[in-house]
């Protein structure tokens, strides 16, 4: 966990958050040990902004990894309180990550709160609903 926190903190400055000044970084650990990072990338048309969690997940999928390859994700910010994934990220995480994958939210002070992916979005709309 400490290694994921360190990696996420290292990429946090890469956040492109010139509108909100709210930097977010994510570190996604795969079962093979590889870590893929993501940061939030804002756009003047706010709806086109991409969150750190989705950036990391989309990068993993772009590299050919899939749900069964993912072990956990850690999210960090410059805030001293816990920040949880937004609703869009929760929906994407629920579909692209295993239900029991760990999701760790950390503060700038290094405090950690960990939940399971399925706990972030109860009653999720998933592929089984189609």
Closest CA to 14 of 80, 59, 65, 68: 59
Query: Which of 102, 77, 81, 104 is CA-nearest to residue 11?
Result: 77
Q: Domain with 22 in it: what CATH number? A: 3.40.140.10
- Among the listed residues 10, 34, 42, 53, the single catalytic one is 53
- The number of distinct structural domains making up the chain is 1
Whether the pLDDT of residue 93 is over 90: the answer is: yes
Determine the structural domain holding residue 59 and report its residue range: 2-129
pLDDT tens for residues 40-52? 999 999 889 999 9
Active site residue 68: no
DSSP codes joined into one string, 51-70? -HHHHHHHHHHHTT--GGGE
The pTM assigned to this predicted structure is: 0.94
Structure tokens of 76? Answer: 């960090």
pLDDT at 22: 96
């Amino acid at each position: 966990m400490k290694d994921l926190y360190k990696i996420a903190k290292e990429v946090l400055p890469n956040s492109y958050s010139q509108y909100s000044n709210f930097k977010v970084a994510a570190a996604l650990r795969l079962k093979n040990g590889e870590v893929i990072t993501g940061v939030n990338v804002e756009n003047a048309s706010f709806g086109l902004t991409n969150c750190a969690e989705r950036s990391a997940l989309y990068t993993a999928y772009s590299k050919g990894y899939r749900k069964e390859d993912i072990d956990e994700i850690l999210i960090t910010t410059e805030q001293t309180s816990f920040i949880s994934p937004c609703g869009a990220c929760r929906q994407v995480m629920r579909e692209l990550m295993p239900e029991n994958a760990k999701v760790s939210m950390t503060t700038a002070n290094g405090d950690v709160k960990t939940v399971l992916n399925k706990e972030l979005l109860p009653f999720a709309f998933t592929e089984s609903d189609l």
